Amino acid sequence: MTHATAPSPDAPLEASATIDGAEWWRSAVIYQIYPRSFADANGDGMGDLAGITSRLDALKQLGIDAIWLSPFFASPQKDAGYDVSDYCAVDPLFGTLEDFDTMTDAAHARGIRVIVDLVPNHSSDQHEWFQEALAAAPGSPERARYIFRDGRGEHGEEAPNNWDSVFGGPAWTRTANADGSPDQWYLHLFDSSQPDFDWSNADVRRMFRDVLRFWLDRGVDGFRVDVAHGLVKADGLPDFTPPVGAGSMGGQAADEEPVTAPYWGQEGVHEIYREWNQVLAEYDGQRVLCAEAWVDPLEKMALWVRSDEMQQAFNFPYLETPWNGPALRTIIDESLAAFSSVGAPSTWVLSNHDVVRHASRLALTAENPQGHGIGPETGDRPDRELGLRRARAASALMLALPGGAYIYQGEELGLPEAIDLPDEARQDPTWFRTSGERYGRDGCRVPIPWEADAPAYGFSETGASWLPQPEDWGPYARASQSGDADSTLELYSRALWLRSTHQLGLGAIEWHDAGDDSILWFSNGPITVVANTGVTDAVVPTPLRDATRILASSPHDEGTLPADTTAWFLTP
Ligand code: GLC
């Protein structure tokens, strides 16, 4: 189904615009652009800022409110740009600051806000401060900006503590003096090329306030804050062994007692965000901070979005909830309760550049911890048809919920994970740090298809692509789906249009009982949503029999709600 009248404004954005008096971010749909893989204007196989500018109309048509760009800053690209060597420079791979300004202006002119990624937990080892620290002596002010420690053992030959890196292997690397003799160790919660800053250091705090102002001065509407639960480490850096089953970023299984690791979710981070809140307040309009904080339980995560801290936090517990009626109902209720207890909107997210795409993930049958990924040798190969069917149903459910929603580029095309990437193409540090034991995240980062028959599916004119694209992606291309009422693209754009028209993002939900807990049934204003998470077809609840079905994630007969299907009804 197509529609000619998308509701979002054609006029340039008013900096302080509100919808019915509510700040824009309370109900926004934010589209994550992974710049490496969105659109490549110069044909080198790496997406770039000019490519984004050239494709903004497609996002306008989709009906999103804002874009968030993963890092495009100067970086040796050891962790795809999450290893920043200069926070105020654009990496030549992606273009120039002028290209950034052009893109921002073009987005704003289309009524689309712009959020950039801030990576404050660590820099690249090529950052000038880290290079200065290496050249300086133990105990120097240069070393005090990072976390250098003497090793344990008689000759300092053992790491200062037992912490592991999120990407596998130890979280410490020993440095060497100019003459080759061993020196101190430095902490890196991620790759060894990503040394952690010491956030008790005044230089570090000052630099990041300046970085915020640098991008705010250029007109950005906000920041997604990378590893926003990791900046502060517990005093004394005590040994810690995470509980079995804990995610490497700190998330835990729902049935486990939450444990606070000495490097995740420390109380001291909040003071930093209160300071940043004040920096944003120096600027006109409604600027936002959005936390990537893998903290459990949700009541704790809500501390990140108290009114004097950040505006949003990614709801990872929701992302990690299986396609299961009771589990979804519980997490939706808990999310709304936790975030509203501090006056913040809930957010919803199903995919991003760190997790298996939900069109594949929802058809996995075994545990797949965040960051491990799937590849050719993974025994549990997801059924593509089932995965897509569930993904469409899950997205249609998510987009009916009140609060903010995040969409990861390509999910609106129903893209599956690229499972069969050749080993030699893989780039995620996880793959290297675990000697191939974990595939990592490359499978969700493959450049997206625009046109079925163009080189690199229209990603780049030359056909170059930094990760190889699967040969069977033609039908997923945006142009192949556009105008086809049954396509995933049109499902998303219709859902977004209805969501905006009926202001579902600012709404509230009321549950109804279908007498079968695999059926989720709720209303949000004039829209009633029914999702069948079960394995058998169900009938549409009697009160909805005469209501108009205005959206459905799968084909259906009148009166039927097939398995793995979400439908929306207009119930005035
Ligand atoms: C965040 C990013 C991830 C990156 C890591 C280290 O989790 O989303 O891609 O590898 O931080 O910066």
Mean per-residue pLDDT, 185-194? 98
CB 343 within 8 A of CB 309: no
Q: Mind listing the pLDDT tens digit for each residue in 358-368?
A: 999 999 999 89
Atom of ligand 1 minimally distant from the CA of 189: 6
Q: Predicted confidence band at 4 (pLDDT cuts at 50, 70, 90)?
A: very low
pLDDT at 249: 86
pLDDT at 202: 98
pLDDT at 533: 98
Atom of ligand 1 minimally distant from the CA of 79: 10
State the distance from the centre of ligand 1 to the C-alpha of 478, rounded, in angstroms. Answer: 27
State the distance from the centre of ligand 1 to the C-alpha of 50, rounded, in angstroms. Answer: 24
pLDDT at 64: 98
Q: Which amino acid is at 524?
A: N
Q: Is the model's pLDDT at 10 over the cut of 60?
A: no
Q: Is the model's pLDDT at 11 over the cut of 90?
A: no
Pocket test for ligand 1, best of 70, 190, 349 (most atoms within 8 A of CB): 190
Cβ(393) – ligand 1 distance below 6 Å: no
Q: Mind listing the pLDDT tens digit for each residue in 326-351?
A: 999 999 999 999 999 999 999 999 99
pLDDT at 253: 60
Token output for 121? 């937990």
Which among 231, 224, 235 has a CA at the least distance from the CA of 250? 231
Cβ(428) – ligand 1 distance below 6 Å: no
pLDDT at 13: 65
Cβ(226) – ligand 1 distance below 6 Å: yes
Per the DSSP assignment, residues forming a β-bridge with 32 are 68, 408
Q: Predicted confidence band at 19 (pLDDT cuts at 50, 70, 90)?
A: low
Write down the pTM of the prediction: 0.96
Residues 6+ apart with CB under 8 A from 68: 30, 31, 32, 33, 115, 116, 117, 224, 290, 406
Beta strands in 334-373 (DSSP E): 347-349
Pocket test for ligand 1, best of 85, 116, 226 (most atoms within 8 A of CB): 226
Atom of ligand 1 minimally distant from the CA of 429: 10
Q: Mind listing the pLDDT tens digit for each residue in 41-77?
A: 999 999 999 999 999 999 999 999 999 999 999 999 9
State the distance from the centre of ligand 1 to the C-alpha of 185, rounded, in angstroms. Answer: 22
Q: Is the model's pLDDT at 300 over the cut of 50?
A: yes
pLDDT at 353: 98
| Mean pLDDT score across all residues of the chain | 95
Q: Is the model's pLDDT at 237 over the cut of 70?
A: yes
Between the CA atoms of 249, 230, 310 and 497, what dihedral angle is there, to the nearest 10 degrees?
Answer: -20
Q: Tokens 């997790």 appear where?
A: 355
Which among 260, 294, 313, 289 has a CA at the least distance from the CA of 166? 294
Pocket test for ligand 1, best of 354, 372, 438 (most atoms within 8 A of CB): 354
Token output for 290? 């959005």
Q: Predicted confidence band at 260 (pLDDT cuts at 50, 70, 90)?
A: confident
State the distance from the centre of ligand 1 to the C-alpha of 227, rounded, in angstroms. Answer: 7
- Report the percentage of the chain scoring pLDDT > 70: 96
Q: Mind listing the pLDDT tens digit for each residue in 475-492?
A: 999 999 999 999 999 999
Q: Is the model's pLDDT at 530 over the cut of 60?
A: yes
Cβ(38) – ligand 1 distance below 6 Å: no
Mean per-residue pLDDT, 180-205? 98
Of residues 379 and 105, more confidently modeled: 105
Percent helix, strand and coil across the chain, each to the nearest 5 = 30, 15, 55
Distance CA 330, CA 334 (A): 6
Cβ(183) – ligand 1 distance below 6 Å: no
Half-sphere exposure of 382 (CA within 13 A, CB side): 29
Ramachandran bin of 385, using left for φ above 0, alpha for ψ from -120 to 50, beta for the remaining angles? alpha
Q: Mind listing the pLDDT tens digit for each residue in 124-181?
A: 999 999 999 999 999 999 999 999 999 999 999 999 999 999 999 999 999 999 999 9
Q: Is the model's pLDDT at 20 over the cut of 90?
A: no
Half-sphere exposure of 215 (CA within 13 A, CB side): 30
Token output for 19? 């919808």
Q: Predicted confidence band at 261 (pLDDT cuts at 50, 70, 90)?
A: very high
Q: Is the model's pLDDT at 446 over the cut of 50?
A: yes
Q: Predicted confidence band at 17 (pLDDT cuts at 50, 70, 90)?
A: low
Q: Predicted confidence band at 210 (pLDDT cuts at 50, 70, 90)?
A: very high
Mean per-residue pLDDT, 403-410? 98
Cβ(273) – ligand 1 distance below 6 Å: no
